[in-house]
Amino acid sequence: MSAPIPDTPESGTSGRSGGRDLHLRGARLFATPDLGETGAPVDVSIRSGRIEAVGANLPRPDPAVEILDAGGLTLIPGLVDVHVHFRDPGLEHIEGWDRGSLGALHGGVTSVVEVQNNPPLSVDGAALDARIAHVRQRSRVDFGCLGNLLPDSVPSLGEMAPRTPAFKLFMGGSTGVGGVTERGVMRDLFRAAALAGRRVVTHCEDEGLLREGRRAYPDATATEHHLVRSSEAEIESVRTAVELAAETGAGLHIFHLSTRGGVEIVRAARAAGQPLWASTAPHYLLLSCEDTAELGNFAKVNPSIKTRDDSAALLEALVDGTLDAIGTDHAPHPLESKRRDYSHAPSGIPSVDLLWPLTLELVRRGLLDAPTALASVTARAAESLGLHGKGALAPGFDADLVLFDPEEERPVVGAELPSTSRWSPYEGMGLAGFPRMVLRRGELVWRDGKSLADAGGELLALGPLTPAS
């Protein structure tokens, strides 16, 4: 496991406040074969917010260092959610960083990457810096903010690149943002991002096929959402994105993949050596379009939730490494908005509050092995966007830690979740893995259902720029 990069302005860590010294004693391992068997005892020595040592029966490094007794709880690294929408600044009443980052801690998430899909968009350095300053005052978790990849932002990609993990391109229209439709324009955008040295992150749905879907189902209901926003729309857009990335030399991360066909394109491109990453979301793994008869608009999300066969393909892709990560695409909307008729209800599902319990559920159901599930929301998730020092129980990494009881199960009650929307498509589902304690860079920030921090999140450390020639 490599050590994090030095704190430099390019890494995105300039001005970080660091963390504290702490000695965590009496935890149990989970799905970390390189450290020992699951359930084995483990201690963690933390200095200045970073892991100094991990092992059984570690000596206390200094009598002055505080000891935190884990009480036999199970230990994992803090989760990295590569895709959230907190809509703040701009739409704080729908979701802001205050409640959104509170929900993140509830779900075991200590780092998030946020996509702004409502004004003010991050189309230049000043806008991105203003957004980062706004978030730093409010976030309880460490964060990165994606720049928006639009024709208007091309002149400013170079100045934004040192402070953003990637540039987000909507290749199909979704809530708040219209999709780019012309291939020539998309090629120019991919090329500009490649020259700036950051990868492109795409929402892949072909805008032309989405329009055809709306024409074909003018009176659609929620049960037909997967037909309005079809598998073919995603597959065609994934094919286009992969081709454009190859043509321009851009690195590419495809968000919220939902189809078997999309997986097959990504698998072939990766086998050919293309610099390509991809992630999916919990709802594509645990739900199917058959569930919309019961869930209605609570399962309305873009891309749409597809078939059980598509879910099986996504799970296989996580196991074989075709897919890197599980990110929530946390996109809350008020309950009254989701209760409108289908054509007027917004798309989006809140779930950052539940990322670790939902991921553990994949293990409990036998759908994923434990090491793959954990890596998909920690180390592999961080690597998929070039985030350094996150997602591993290893010396040199940030001491972002989550402690939970794997046997403690309770039902999901949407009205009790911290994020603003207060509803969940997983209402009543019995889940385990709810965090008892969460540490952010060595500081205890969550304990027994309560936040112990009002803010304190810092900008994520980023890898070096890699401009295409």
Give the residue numbers marked as catalytic.
Answer: 329
How far is it, in rounded angstroms, from Cα 89 to Cα 71?
Answer: 40
3-state secondary structure of 413: coil
How far is it, in rounded angstroms, from Cα 42 to Cα 48?
Answer: 20
Structure tokens given for 433: 């893995």
256 Cβ contact list (under 8 Å, min separation 6):
83, 203, 279, 280, 281, 284, 303, 327, 329
Tell me how far the alpha carbon of residue 391 is from its chain's centroid: 12
How far is it, in rounded angstroms, from Cα 142 to Cα 440?
Answer: 8
Beta pairing class for 109-114 and 142-145: parallel
DSSP 177: B
One-character DSSP codes across 196-212: HT-EEEEE---HHHHHH
How far is it, in rounded angstroms, from Cα 95 to Cα 114?
Answer: 12
Q: Please give the single-letter amino acid code of residue 302.
A: N
371 Cβ contact list (under 8 Å, min separation 6):
31, 32, 33
| 416 bridge partner residues | none
**Strands laid side by side in the 199-203 sheet:** 147-148, 166-170, 199-203, 252-254, 276-280, 325-326
How far is it, in rounded angstroms, from Cα 431 to Cα 357?
Answer: 6
Count of positions (residues) in the chain: 469
How far is it, in rounded angstroms, from Cα 284 to Cα 117?
Answer: 21
Q: Please check whether residue 121 is in contact with residue 89, taking contact to mean a CB–CB distance below 8 angstroms.
A: no
Count CB-CB contacts under 10 A for residue 388: 23
| 438 bridge partner residues | 402, 446
Structure tokens given for 231: 């598998």
Which spans in 15-167 are helix H? 97-106, 125-136, 157-160
Q: Please check whether residue 292 is in contact with residue 305, taking contact to mean a CB–CB distance below 8 angstroms.
A: yes
Q: Please check whether residue 196 is in contact with residue 124, taking contact to mean a CB–CB distance below 8 angstroms.
A: no
Q: Please check whether residue 357 is in contact with residue 344, taking contact to mean a CB–CB distance below 8 angstroms.
A: no
